[in-house]
C-alpha cells in the first residue's frame, strides 16, 4: 500500500498540469465543448393523454396554437418577429405574405390565427370581433375547398378535422352575433335578403321554414353549449355547419275551440303544433370560383338547413356531409316545458291544467315520412318518451323513414272520452296536412302506447259495433238510454273502425284487462280527488249536458258521478272488460313489450309492480318481448332495442328488396 501511495505522489505534478490544461480548453471552447459531453436530443415517453393533446390540441381545445401552426410560424421565422404575439394583426398579414409555404399550410395556419384573434378580442363590443370570425370561416373554407387536394383526400388527417371545427365554430359565432344584434331588417327579411355589416354584405337564405310560420326565433342557441341531465345520449352527426337550436315560442296549450272538427264536433284551436325548439344547421357560403376571389371578397351567404331533412351539401362542386344535432332541441323543449308539474295538475283536474289533447310534431310535416304516434300513460306526458324518442330520432335508418308525433292529453278523463278526443285530433291533423290522403305519411302509421296509452292505442286499432254502446247503456255511472237522438249522438264516439292508415301497433306494459292495483284503497282515494272538467261533457255530445239539465240542473253533479280513468283501469270495471273483447282486424300487426319485476318464478304469475302479465299479454301478437323491469319499461335500453327491431322489420316489409329512401341534398350550391 505504501508503494502505491509513493507512485501516486510522484505522478501528481503531471496530473495537475493535465487538469489545468483541460480546464483551459473547456473555458476557451465554451458551450460547444460542454454539449459534446451530453446527447443533442433527449427522449421521454408520453402518456396517451399527452400524445392526444400534443397531436390534436389547438386554440379551441387548449387555448394555445396547434403544433402545426406553431411549426409553420417557426419555419417562416415569424414567431420571433411579427408573430411574437400571434393574435396581432401584423402576424396574419406577415403570414399571408410569407413565401415558401404551400396553400394548405398557409391557409390552415391563417384560419387558426384569425380564430385566436377572435377569441382574444373584447367581448364588450356589440358584435364582438365579427370580422375576425368571418375571416376565420373564410380561411377555413379556403383550406377545405380551394387547395390542390379535395377534402376526401384528407379524410384521415387530423388537420382537416381541426380546420372543420374552426369553421363550424366561426359560423356559430357569426350567425348568433348577427341574431343577437336583432337588426330590424331580419324581422322582415324575405327568403333572399341582404344585410350590410362591418364592411361585409351578408345574404340571408330564408328557405328554412320555422314552426307556425315564425319569421325569427326568440332565441338562437348553440347546441354545443347545452348539456342535459336526463337524456341517456346526446346524438349528433359530424359534418360541416354550426348546430343550433331555434327557440320559437312556448309550448301551446289549447283552450279555445273552433268548429273545424269531424262529425260536426268542435276541435281545440291549435290542436297540433310543431316542437317549438327545432334543430338547425347554419353554413357560411362564399359564391366565388377561385382562391384569389375568395381571399378578396366581402360577400357571403348564410344558409340555414334542417338536419332531419337534409344529410349532405353541395359546396364548390363537392358533396360534403351536413352536421346535425338530433337531441339538443328535443332536450331543451322538455327542460322548459313544465310537463312534469302540469301532468299532475291535469290528472287531478286542477288549474292550470290540460283539458284537451294536444299533438306535437317532432319535426315539420314531411309528406314522405311515415308517422309514429306515441301515447303516454296515466299522470304522464311526452316526458315518458324522453329516451325512446331521442334514440329513435338518432337512428339514421329510422329517421329517414319516420316522423314522430307525440300526443299529450289529460289523463283523468274516462277512457272512451280520451280515445274519442285523440282520434278526433289525429283525424284533424291529417286532414289539415294531407287533405287528399295521398301522401305516404298518411299510410302505414305506427302506434306506440305505454300503460293507459296502450289501452287508447288498442281502441284506435279495434272495431267497435254494439259492444261499447251496450256498456254505456248498462253502466249506472253513465245512466243513458240508447234510443233516438241519444244513440245518434253517441254512435260516432262508441262505434268505430280502426283509425285509417294505421298498420302496426306496439303495446308497452299495457293493462288490456285492467289491474287489481286500480281497485285498491289508495287509488280509490286518489280517484276521489280527481275533478273532471266541464269540457268532458262535450266528449259525449249534448247527451250528458242534456241529462245534467234535466235531472239535476247541475252539470257538476253529473261530472262527479262519471268514472275517472283510474276507475276504468280496475280489472273489474265494466268498460275495461268490454274494451278487452273488441276485435283487432287481421290486417293490423301488433306487438307486446311486457315487463316483469323479477326474473324468477312463472311468467304467468309475474307483474311489473302495477300490471300483471295476464293483463298485458295479448293473443295474436306478432311478437312478445319480456323484459325484467318495473312498469316504466319503455325507458330501458332493452325496450328501445326491441322497438328498433320491430320498426326495421316494418321498413323492410314495406320496401322492395334493395330499395332505400333517397337522401336529400341541396343542389343549388354549385
Helix (H) or strand (E) holding 373: strand 370-375
The pLDDT assigned to 143 comes to 98
- Name the pLDDT band for 526 (thresholds 50, 70, 90): very low
Return the CATH number at 601: 3.40.50.1820
Q: Are residues 389 and 489 both part of a single domain? A: yes
Q: Are residues 243 and 374 both part of a single domain? A: no
Q: Are residues 427 and 451 both part of a single domain? A: yes
- Partnered with residue 247 across adjacent β-strands are 219
Q: Are residues 344 and 214 both part of a single domain? A: no
Q: Are residues 313 and 359 both part of a single domain? A: no
In a domain, 90, yes or no: yes
In a domain, 214, yes or no: yes
Indicate the number of domains in the chain: 2
Among 114-123, 401-410, 451-460, 499-508, the least confident range:
114-123
Q: Are residues 190 and 304 both part of a single domain? A: yes
Helix (H, G, I), strand (E, B) or coil at 56: helix
Cα–Cα separations (whole angstroms), residue 570 to 79, 452, 519 = 79, 11, 5
Helix (H) or strand (E) holding 302: strand 299-305
| Surface-to-core class of residue 209, CB atoms within 10 Å of its CB (0-12 exposed, 13-18 middle, 19+ buried) | middle
pLDDT tens figures, 423-465: 999 999 999 999 999 999 999 999 999 999 999 999 999 999 9
The pLDDT assigned to 15 comes to 57
Cell numbers for 120, please give them. Answer: 382574444
- Name the pLDDT band for 339 (thresholds 50, 70, 90): confident
Which are the contacts of 330, defined by CB distance < 8 A and separation ≥ 6? 275, 277, 362, 389, 390, 393
Strands annotated E in 468-581: 502-508
Whole-model pTM: value is 0.84
Q: Are residues 434 and 557 both part of a single domain? A: yes
Q: Are residues 62 and 141 both part of a single domain? A: yes
Q: Percentage of the chain surpassing pLDDT 90? A: 56
Q: Are residues 168 and 289 both part of a single domain? A: yes
Q: Are residues 384 and 310 both part of a single domain? A: no
Q: Which of 294, 325, 356 is the last residue of a domain?
A: 325
In a domain, 662, yes or no: no
In a domain, 394, yes or no: yes
Which is nearest to 86 in space by CA: 57, 66, 102? 66
Comparing 7 with 647, the larger pLDDT belongs to 647
| Surface-to-core class of residue 483, CB atoms within 10 Å of its CB (0-12 exposed, 13-18 middle, 19+ buried) | exposed
pLDDT tens figures, 88-116: 889 999 999 988 899 999 999 999 999 99
Q: Are residues 514 and 472 both part of a single domain? A: yes
In a domain, 154, yes or no: yes
Average pLDDT over residues 603-610: 94
The pLDDT assigned to 547 comes to 52
Q: Are 507 and 454 in contact (CB under 8 A)?
A: yes
Placement of cell 350567425 in the chain: 175
Phi, psi of 544 (to 5 degrees): -70, -35
In a domain, 647, yes or no: yes
- Partnered with residue 625 across adjacent β-strands are 593
In a domain, 34, yes or no: no
Cα–Cα separations (whole angstroms), residue 328 to 334, 373, 387 = 10, 21, 13
Mean pLDDT rounded to a whole number for the chain: 82
| Owning domain of residue 625 | 338-654
Q: Are residues 603 and 627 both part of a single domain? A: yes
Torsion region of 549: left, alpha or beta (phi above 0 gives left; psi -120 to 50 gives alpha): alpha
Average pLDDT over residues 229-242: 94
The pLDDT assigned to 23 comes to 54
Which are the contacts of 478, defined by CB distance < 8 A and separation ≥ 6? 471, 472, 562
The pLDDT assigned to 108 comes to 97
Q: Which of 270, 304, 325 is the last residue of a domain?
A: 325
What Rg do the C-alpha atoms of the chain give, in angstroms? 35
Q: Sort strands 279-285 and 242-247 into parallel, antiparallel or unpaired.
A: antiparallel
Residue 264 pLDDT > 80: no
Average pLDDT over residues 293-316: 94
In a domain, 40, yes or no: no
Task: Supply the DSSP symbol for 213.
Answer: G
**Highest mean pLDDT: which range of 163-167, 351-355, 378-382, 533-537:** 163-167
Amino acid at each position: 500500500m505504501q508503494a502505491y501511495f509513493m507512485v501516486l505522489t510522484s505522478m501528481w505534478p503531471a496530473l495537475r498540469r493535465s487538469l489545468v490544461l483541460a480546464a483551459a480548453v473547456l473555458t476557451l471552447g465554451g458551450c460547444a465543448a460542454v454539449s459534446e459531453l451530453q446527447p443533442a436530443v433527449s427522449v421521454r415517453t408520453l402518456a396517451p393523454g399527452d400524445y392526444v393533446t400534443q397531436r390534436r390540441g389547438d386554440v379551441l381545445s387548449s387555448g394555445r396554437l396547434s403544433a402545426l401552426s406553431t411549426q409553420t410560424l417557426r419555419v417562416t421565422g415569424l414567431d420571433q418577429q411579427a408573430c411574437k404575439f400571434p393574435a396581432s394583426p401584423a402576424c396574419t398579414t406577415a403570414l399571408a405574405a410569407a413565401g415558401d409555404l404551400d396553400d394548405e399550410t398557409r391557409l390552415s395556419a391563417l384560419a387558426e390565427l384569425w380564430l385566436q384573434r377572435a377569441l382574444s378580442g373584447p367581448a364588450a363590443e356589440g358584435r364582438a370581433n365579427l370580422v375576425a370570425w368571418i375571416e376565420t370561416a373564410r380561411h377555413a373554407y379556403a383550406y377545405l375547398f380551394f387547395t390542390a387536394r379535395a377534402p376526401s383526400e384528407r379524410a384521415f388527417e387530423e388537420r382537416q378535422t381541426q380546420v372543420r371545427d374552426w369553421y363550424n365554430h366561426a359560423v356559430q359565432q357569426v350567425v348568433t352575433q348577427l341574431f343577437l344584434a336583432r337588426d330590424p331588417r331580419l324581422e322582415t327579411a324575405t327568403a333572399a335578403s341582404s344585410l350590410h355589416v362591418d364592411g361585409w354584405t351578408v345574404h340571408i337564405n330564408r328557405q328554412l321554414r320555422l314552426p307556425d310560420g315564425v319569421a325569427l326565433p326568440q332565441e338562437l342557441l348553440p347546441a354545443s353549449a347545452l348539456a342535459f341531465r336526463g337524456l341517456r345520449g346526446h346524438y349528433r352527426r359530424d359534418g360541416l355547419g354550426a348546430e343550433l337550436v331555434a327557440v320559437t315560442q312556448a309550448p301551446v296549450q289549447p283552450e279555445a275551440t273552433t268548429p273545424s272538427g269531424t262529425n260536426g264536433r268542435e276541435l281545440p284551436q291549435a290542436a297540433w303544433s310543431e316542437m317549438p325548439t327545432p334543430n338547425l344547421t347554419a353554413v357560411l357560403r362564399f359564391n366565388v370560383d377561385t382562391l384569389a376571389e375568395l381571399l378578396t371578397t366581402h360577400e357571403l351567404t348564410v344558409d340555414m338547413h334542417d338536419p332531419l331533412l337534409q344529410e349532405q351539401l353541395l359546396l364548390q362542386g363537392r358533396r360534403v356531409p351536413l352536421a346535425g344535432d338530433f337531441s339538443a332541441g328535443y332536450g331543451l323543449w322538455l327542460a322548459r316545458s313544465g310537463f312534469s308539474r302540469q301532468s299532475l295538475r291535469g290528472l287531478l283536474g286542477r288549474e292550470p291544467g290540460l283539458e284537451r289533447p294536444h299533438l306535437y310534431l317532432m319535426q315539420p310535416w314531411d309528406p314522405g315520412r311515415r308517422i309514429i304516434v306515441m301515447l303516454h300513460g296515466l299522470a304522464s306526458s311526452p316526458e315518458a318518451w324522453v329516451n325512446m324518442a331521442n334514440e329513435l330520432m338518432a337512428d339514421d335508418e329510422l329517421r329517414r323513414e319516420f316522423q314522430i308525433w307525440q300526443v299529450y292529453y289529460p289523463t283523468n278523463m274516462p277512457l272512451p272520452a280520451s280515445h274519442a278526443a285523440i282520434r278526433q285530433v289525429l283525424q284533424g291533423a291529417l286532414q289539415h296536412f294531407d287533405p287528399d290522403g295521398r301522401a305516404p305519411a298518411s299510410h302505414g302509421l305506427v302506434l306506440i302506447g305505454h300503460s293507459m296509452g296502450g289501452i287508447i292505442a288498442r281502441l284506435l286499432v279495434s272495431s267497435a259495433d254494439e259492444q261499447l254502446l251496450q256498456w254505456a247503456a248498462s253502466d249506472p255511472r253513465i245512466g243513458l238510454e240508447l234510443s233516438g237522438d241519444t244513440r245518434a249522438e253517441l254512435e260516432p264516439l262508441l262505434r268505430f273502425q280502426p283509425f285509417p292508415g294505421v298498420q302496426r301497433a306496439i303495446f308497452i306494459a299495457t293493462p288490456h284487462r285492467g289491474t287489481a292495483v286500480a281497485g285498491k284503497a289508495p287509488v280509490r282515494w286518489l280517484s276521489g280527488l280527481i275533478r273532471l272538467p266541464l269540457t268532458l261533457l262535450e266528449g259525449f255530445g249534448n247527451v250528458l249536458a242534456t241529462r245534467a239539465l234535466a235531472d239535476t240542473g247541475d252539470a257538476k253533479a253529473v261530472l262527479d258521478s262519471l268514472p275517472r280513468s283510474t276507475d276504468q283501469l280496475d280489472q273489474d270495471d265494466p268498460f275495461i272488460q268490454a274494451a278487452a273483447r273488441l276485435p283487432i282486424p287481421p290486417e293490423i300487426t301488433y306487438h307486446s313489450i311486457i315487463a316483469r319485476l323479477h326474473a324468477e318464478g312463472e311468467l304467468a304469475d309475474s307483474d311489473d309492480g302495477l300490471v300483471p302479465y295476464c293483463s298485458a299479454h295479448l293473443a295474436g301478437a306478432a311478437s312478445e318481448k319480456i323484459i325484467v323491469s318495473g312498469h316504466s319499461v319503455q325507458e330501458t335500453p332493452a325496450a328501445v332495442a326491441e322497438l328498433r327491431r320491430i320498426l326495421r322489420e316494418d321498413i323492410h316489409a314495406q320496401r322492395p328488396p334493395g330499395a332505400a329512401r333517397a337522401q336529400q341534398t341541396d343542389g343549388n350550391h354549385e
